[in-house]
Each structure stands twice: as C-alpha cells, then as structure tokens.
Amino acid sequence: MHEMSIAQGILDIVLKTAAEHNAVKISCIKLLIGQMTQVEPESLKFGFAALAANTIADGAVVDITIVPLVGKCNSCGQQFTVERYSFLCPLCHSANILVVSGRELAVDYLEVE
C-alpha cells in the first residue's frame, strides 16, 4: 500500500506549512492526484486519518480531485484524454506523445485556523 507513504509525505507538508503560518488547526486539505499515479483515494484518506491522529490535522477533511490523464501529440498537436493507457494519438496514430496532465500528486491548498 503505497498510499501510506504518500499520506505521510502529505502530513509532513501540511504540518510544516501550517507551522510556517502559525496555524493551530488544519480543517481541510485539497489534493490534486493524477489518474496515472494510481493512488486509491479512500486508502489515502484512511492512511492520512490514521497518521494525523493527535496532530493539528486530526479530523481534517481530505478533498481529492482526480486529474485526468491528458496527452498531446508532438506530431500533429492534437490534445486528447488518454484512454486505457493507450498513448497513441487518436488523430494521426503517432506514439510521439507528451503527457500534459495526470501525473500530479500535490497539495493544492489548506484551510487552517
């Protein structure tokens, strides 16, 4: 379960950020998670809740937005949603694809008191 190590990294980031802003409570954490990361949102939330116990992030809502996997063809310029990890341009069938989004794993923002 790689979600637990990801949850630990997120907790480290939010606690450090909260401390830098003299926050006493973290109420919400907004995450951007790319489809290609294959992170299971419910497992991540569960792991985060377990790790955040007895910290200022205890009870924080973890709001996750899944970012779709989008590619751009370097041959014809077509931008498209990648379906079933088929990295072929639907227009010209080139495999010369740049991943535009879908690999994100980021804390977008925090709500703190």
Residues placed in the known binding site for Zn(2+): 73, 76, 89, 92
Bind-site residues for Ni(2+): 2
> What is the β-pairing status of strands 26-34 and 61-67?
parallel
| Structural contact between residues 71 and 79, judged by C-beta atoms closer than 8 angstroms | yes
Please, what's the b/e burial string for 61-71 (b: 16 or more CB within 10 A of its CB; e: otherwise)? ebeeeebebbb
| Structural contact between residues 14 and 110, judged by C-beta atoms closer than 8 angstroms | yes
Bind-site residues: 2, 73, 76, 89, 92
Which residue in the block uniquely carries the two structure tokens 């990648």?
A: 82
For residue 45, give the 3-state DSSP assignment: helix
